[in-house]
């Protein structure tokens, strides 16, 4: 009888411990840290396909749980920072139920299953609200000054053009509107970004990419 009680007590303790662990993981993922896996090569060489990283969800604002509504803002993305944001082309705030159970399933499966159907992008901030952006022969100019970009790469050879090219050579500069950002991938020839689909609304920004945690050989802070 005593053994039965001991077993029952230990089982209860184990269940409580697991529930607490799941609750803590849920709070961390919902409010503080979001894990991501890089699916494409648009940010090579900074981020490679298969890299897994953590993004801070509280670097810029506090967001209401399971929504994209910003409750409190205390900072704004700066030029050069790598941000994670909702797909500006197919944004929808629907599917709240899925967004509620998604982190629970994620925590229960030790980050192996993510049910959230919302697509996120990861790019580098090039222009902030009020900036004037111009691209000439692959070089980016912000407010008339050529941007030094040691992180960018090009996959294909380039011949200077006299005509217009949405990716490499613009006719005239554009101005970033209030509460929006101009973002680009580091792998310029293989990135669909603000050159293609326009500005990133501030309300869609989910956080700042911070740290690669996998694979082991690539562990480190992002710059």
Domains of the chain: residue spans and CATH: 2-221 (2.10.109.10)
Enumerate residues 6+ apart whose C-beta is below 8 A from 109. none
Residue 143 and residue 130 in contact, taking contact as beta carbons nearer than 8 Å: no
- Residues 131-156 have pLDDT tens digits of 999 999 999 999 999 999 999 999 88
Whether 174 has a pLDDT exceeding 90, the answer reads: yes
Give me the residues paired with residue 37 across strands: 52
Stretch 21-31: mean pLDDT, rounded? 65
Q: Report whether pLDDT(176) > 70.
A: yes
- Whether the full predicted model's pTM is greater than 0.85, yes or no, is no
Tens-place pLDDT, residues 89-100? 876 665 656 666
Q: Strand 61-63 relative to strand 70-73: parallel, antiparallel, unpaired? A: antiparallel
Q: For position 216, what pLDDT does the model report? A: 94
Query: Residue 110's pLDDT is what?
Result: 57
At what angle are helices 96-108 and 2-27 packed, to 10 degrees?
130
Is the pLDDT score of 32 beyond 60?
A: yes
In angstroms, the CA 166 to CA 125 distance is 18
Which run of H or E residues covers position 105?
A: helix 96-108
């Amino acid at each position: 009888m005593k053994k039965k009680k001991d077993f029952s007590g230990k089982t209860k303790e184990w269940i409580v411990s697991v529930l607490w662990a799941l609750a803590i993981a849920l709070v961390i993922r919902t409010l503080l840290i979001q894990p991501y896996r890089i699916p494409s090569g648009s940010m090579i060489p900074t981020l490679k396909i298969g890299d897994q990283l953590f993004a801070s969800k509280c670097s810029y604002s506090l967001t209401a749980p399971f929504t994209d509504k910003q409750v409190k803002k205390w900072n704004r993305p700066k030029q050069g920072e790598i941000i994670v944001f909702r797909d500006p082309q197919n944004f929808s705030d629907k599917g709240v139920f899925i967004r509620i159970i998604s982190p629970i399933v994620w925590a229960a499966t030790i980050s192996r299953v993510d049910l959230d159907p919302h697509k996120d992008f990861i790019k580098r901030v090039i222009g902030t609200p009020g900036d004037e952006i111009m691209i000439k022969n692959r070089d980016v100019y912000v407010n008339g000054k050529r941007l030094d970009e040691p992180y960018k790469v090009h996959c294909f050879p380039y011949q200077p053009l006299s005509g217009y090219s949405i990716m490499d050579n613009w006719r005239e500069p554009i101005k970033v509107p209030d509460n929006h950002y101009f973002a680009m991938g580091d792998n310029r020839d293989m990135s669909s970004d603000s050159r293609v689909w326009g500005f990133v609304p501030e309300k869609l920004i989910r956080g700042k990419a911070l740290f690669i945690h996998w694979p082991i050989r690539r562990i480190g802070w992002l710059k």
